Structure 1
Amino acid sequence: MSCQSPSVQAVMQKTAKAKSQIDELENLVKKQDKAHKKFFSDTINSHLSEAKINDSREIYYGFDIKTEYTSEFSLDKIASVVTSVIKAAGKAMDPNVKQPATSPDAIAAYVDVVNAVAEAAKSSSTAAGSLSFSMNRMSPGLYGFLYASSMSIKSDDTFGSEAVTSTIIYYKFIESIDDIKNEAKYGAALIDYKNLMNMKTIQAALTDDLAAGKIDIDTWTKKDASFEKAIKTIEDRLKNAGWYTVSLYMTSGNAIATMPIDIDEKSISARNKEIALSAVQLLSQKGSLYEPVIHVTTRRIENGYF
C-alpha cells in the first residue's frame, strides 16, 4: 500500500507532472522489491539463528510505501498501518500462546520504532543506515521485524527546493513456541536466583549475629552448613538448566538473550559484604575459637561470594 504526506498530496493534486513523478518514484522503489525481500529474509534468518530460535512460524508479512518531503516525519498514516498489523498478528497467533501486548502504549512504542527505521533509511549517514533493519521481541513468542529502504527525487520546478523521498517498509511477525518455553524457564530460574541471594543474605546475617554474641559458634556452624548445602543445590539446578549468574545479569548459553535480574543485586551484594566484613573484624578480636569462621567468611568476601 502506498501513502503520501498531506504536503506531497497537495502538490500531486495541483499538477499532473507532480503525480507522474511521484508515481515513477514509487515504481522505482517497487522495482527493487525482489532484492529488498531477499535482504530482509536473509537478515531475519541470521538474527533468528543468533537468537537460537529454530521454530519460527510466520504469522504476518507485508509492506508499505510512504512518500514525503525529506524533512517530514509523518506518524498518522504509518500508525494506522502498524496498529492493524499488530492486531492482525495477535489474532493469527496460536490461541494457546500468550497474546502480544496491544495496549495503546505498546502500539505507540512500536510505531516509534517503525518511524525510527524509516528515518534511518532516509539518512545518508552510514551509522544511521545500520538502523534500517530492526528486530523486536514484542512479547513471549512474538517477534516483529522491520526493514526500510528509500529513494529520492528533486525537482525545483515541481516540488520546490526540497527533495521528495519514497520509503518502502517491510513488516514481518513470527511466532516461536521455543521462546515461550524459554520465558517459562527464565521465570523458574529467577525464583531460584532470588532465593539464592536471600540465603546468602541470611549467611551474612548469621555471621553478624555470631559476632554480636546472639548465637554461639555451634549454632553458626550448623546453620551455615545447611544454607551452604541449599545454595549449592540451587546453583547446580541453575547450571543444569543452562543458566549462569554474573554481576547484575543472569545469562544462558541457550537463551534468547541476556535477561536482567529484576532485583537490586548490586546493593544487596554490597550490603552483605559490608555486614560480613564488619563481623570478621569483630570476630578477630574474640580469640582463636572463631578462626574457622573468619577464614570461611574472608574467603567468601574475597571470591565475591556475597
Structure 2
Amino acid sequence: MVDQSMAAGAATADEAAVGDYFALLKPRVMTLVVFTGLVGLVMAPGTLHPILALTALLCIGVGAGAAGCLNMWWESDLDSAMERTAARPIPAGRVGRDEALGFGVTLSVASVVVMDLATNHVAAALLALAIVFYVGVYTMVLKRRTPQNIVIGGAAGALPPMIGWAAVTGSLSIEPIVLFAIIFFWTPPHFWALALLRAHEYARAGVPMLPCVAGDDVTRRQIVVYTLLVSPLALAPTLMGFAGPLYGAVAGVLGAAFIVLALRLARDGARRQAVQMFAFSILYLFALFATLLAEYALGLPTSGWSLG
C-alpha cells in the first residue's frame, strides 16, 4: 500500500513537472502563432505532403514556444514583480533558470533544423529569424529600454504566415507580406489595451510600457492611430484579389467595430472600455484569419474586388 502511494505521488510530481515545462512554451500564444502559420501554408500555391505540412506547423509551434520559454528565462525577475506573471514556473520556483534556458535553446535549434530538413532553407531561416528577433531584439534589447518595444518587437509574432507560405513555396510574395503587415499593425492596439489594464504592474517592474512613460491619454490616442491603420489594411487581401467578398465583408464590419471601440476608449478612458478593446482585438484577428482559411479550404472565389 505504501509503495502504491509513493508511486502515485511520484506520478503526480512528474505530471506537474511536464505541465510546468509546457507552461514555459506560452501555449495560448503558441496556438495563435500556429493558426496564422496554417493560414499562410494553406493559402500558398503548390502542395506539401500532409505529413510535411504537419511537421512544418509543429516546427512553427515549437519554435514559438521555445522563444516564449527563453523570454520567461530572461524576464524571470520581471515576472516575479508582476501579479499577472508571478505564478509562472520560473518565478514560482518550479523550474530553474538553467533548466529553462537549456529547454528553450534545445527546442529552438531542433525546430529550425527539422523545418530545414522537412521543407526548405527559406522557411527554416524565417523561423530562426522569428526566434532570434523575439528573444534577442524584443526581449533582451527593446523590452526594458523603449516604450516602442511592442511596436518593433511585434514583427516576430507577425512572421508565421510568411513561414507557412515559404514552407510550401520556398519563396515569398506579396500575399504573406500583407498578412505579416496586418498582424504587425494589429499588435500595438491589442497589447496597449492590456498595458492600460496592467500599467501599475509594469511601472512596479520598471518596464517602460507606453502608459507608464507617456500616460494613458497618449496610449489611447496611439491605439486609435494603429486601429485606423490596420482596419483598412485588413481589406487589402480582397482589394488585391487574393481573398474574396466574404473576407472583405468580415474585414469591413469588424474593422468598423474595432475603430468604434478604439474611439470609445479614447473618449471615455474607462477600464471597461480597455477590457472590451483587448477582448475584441483577439476576436478580430482570429476572425480575419479564420475567414481566409475558410475561403481557401472550401475553394470559395477569391477574385473579390481586385484592383488589378
TM-score bracket, normalised by the shorter chain, equals: under 0.3
The structure with more radius of gyration: 1
Q: More helix per residue: 1 or 2?
A: 2
Could you state the TM-score of these two structures normalised by the residue count of structure 1?
Answer: 0.24
Could you state the TM-score of these two structures normalised by the residue count of structure 2?
Answer: 0.24
Q: More strand per residue: 1 or 2?
A: 1
